[in-house]
Chains A and B, each alone.
Chain A
Amino acid sequence: MDSFTYVNIFETKGLEYLLLLCFWVLFVYLIRYLSPPSKNRKDWH
């Protein structure tokens, strides 16, 4: 039987929050990248 080992689940929290921030920023960019340009925007250019 293995001895008890304490796992500190908060040890990587800082990196996890950073990753989540990156996720949301990149997710917005992905959705914008995948959205067809609207007609109005086309007319402006």
Chain B
Amino acid sequence: MGVVMNANTAVSGEFSRFFHFLMQEMKPRGPWLTPFNVISIPVIFTGVVIIVIRFIYGLGAVTNLSQDFPWGFWLGFDVITGVALAAGAYVITFVVYVMKVEKYHSIVRITVLNGLLAYIFYAGALVFDIGRPWQAYNPYIGNKFGFSSVMFLICWHFFLYMVAAFIEFSPVVAEWAGWEKARKFLKSITLATVILGITLSILHQSGLGALFLMAKPKIHPLWWSEFIPVLFLVSSVYAGLAMIIFESTISHRVFRHLIPHDPKHSFDDILFGLAKGAAIVMFVYYFFKALLFIHGKQWSMVNDAWGYWFLVEVIGFVLIPGFMFAFGYRNRSLNIIKIASVMALLGIVLNRLNVSVISFKWYAEVHYFPSWQEIVVTLMIIFTEIWILRWVVTRMPVFKPAH
């Protein structure tokens, strides 16, 4: 009896300590009047109002979606592009935990955090986009399991990957909260979770491409291929690497005071290594595109506006940044690598939007264009994610190397 009471007292004491600690951590830090806050706060509030209108009056009230164009900017950018840009987490955990390349250990935590938040916000944005969001739980509770549906796979994979990414990041939360035993346990299951996460990622990155397999008559032949799943998977690898270069560069500027000096591996070395990886993957991706171009005899289609647009994407935002990564690595030029990462990211955005929105029903006389409300909600999602990221990074040991 006495032992039970002691245990109860200890639990309530720990709960009260953590509650006070959390209250302290919730207090804002740093100056309020920063350019980012001034821009993001009105956008977030406007976005919330638009979301309320969307849930009360339906999709038609705030979007330009229609029966002819049921998938628009929210799905094409937030979900399909956002998930590709979040691929850095599975790429870097594979390199560090499976390939045992210790050089990138110091960026694992921030990359996994980015991936986790991207999935929560971008995949979570699906709820805004589906016509009947109150039915969103059906794939999970077994109400008409669609085992042969790609959407079923994606629903479960998004959910399971978010759990896996949270477990991968949870040692940082335990370390922050001072739960040493929990941290040790969570650390011990990291490798298993990483392997699960990589498996899930490979399947749903390609699964996002597989969503479009059935839309062959509706997607311009330059973008439709039976190999879309493979193209999506391969391009997600370099998208992830480019995103790590891009966001690491920004976080090293913004959170410089929080980043400890690593005597073994400088930040520049890490970026050069990532650039080398990106150059190789982009080279492979480019040739894969060329192979499909020849196989589909697509040279007859490049002599019009769609063809030029296709060449802009493939040459301007795949081949050129690929060369720039290689050149920047060889000549130790960080500036070239940073520009290449931005171009590669733009290429991914362009490719995903081309497949899912721009070339969708390319023959239609009246084409879909996102409404300003759709763009504001997308900006709201991005800004809210950055707010949460900033809160976590300034409180938890995210930049501390994992031990």
Contacts and interface: CB of A to CB of B under 8 A. Distances in A.
B295 interface: yes
Given A33-B326, A34-B326, A19 B291 contact: yes
Interface of A: 9, 11-12, 15-16, 19-20, 23, 26-27, 30-31, 33-34
A16 B287 contact: no
B329 A12 contact: no
Nearest to B277: A34
Nearest to A22: B287
A19 B293 CA distance: 11
B280 interface: yes
Interface centre among A11, A16, A20, A34 (most CB of B within 10 A): A34
A-B pairs, top 4 by smallest CB distance, nearest first, are: A23-B287, A15-B294, A12-B294, A34-B276
A1 B330 CA distance: 55
Nearest to B217: A2
B287 A30 contact: no
B295 A30 contact: no
Contact of B280 (A9, A23, A34): A34
B250 interface: no
Contact of B330 (A12, A26, A27, A33): A33
B290 interface: yes
B181 interface: no
A34 B295 contact: no
Contacts of A11: 297
B283 interface: yes
B287 A34 contact: no
Contacts, number: 31
B294 A34 contact: no
Interface string B192-218: 000000000000000000000000000
Contacts of A27: 283-284
Interface of B: 276, 279-280, 283-284, 287, 290-291, 294-295, 297, 326, 329-330
Contacts of A20: 291
Given A30-B279, A30-B280, A19 B297 contact: no
B291 A30 contact: no
Contacts of A16: 291, 294-295
A13 B215 CA distance: 26
Contact of A34 (B279, B284, B297): B279
Nearest to A30: B283
Nearest to B276: A34
A41 to B, nearest CB: 15
Given A19-B291, A27-B284, 13 more contacts: A9-B295, A11-B297, A12-B295, A12-B297, A16-B291, A16-B294, A19-B290, A27-B283, A30-B326, A31-B280, A34-B279, A34-B329, A34-B330
A23 B280 CA distance: 12
A30 B329 CA distance: 12
Interface centre among B276, B280, B294, B329 (most CB of A within 10 A): B294
Contacts of A31: 280
A9 B295 CA distance: 8
Contacts of A34: 276, 279-280, 326, 329-330
Contacts of B283: 26-27, 30
Nearest to A26: B283
Contacts of B295: 9, 12, 16
A15 B326 CA distance: 27
A21 B87 CA distance: 30
Contacts of B326: 30, 33-34
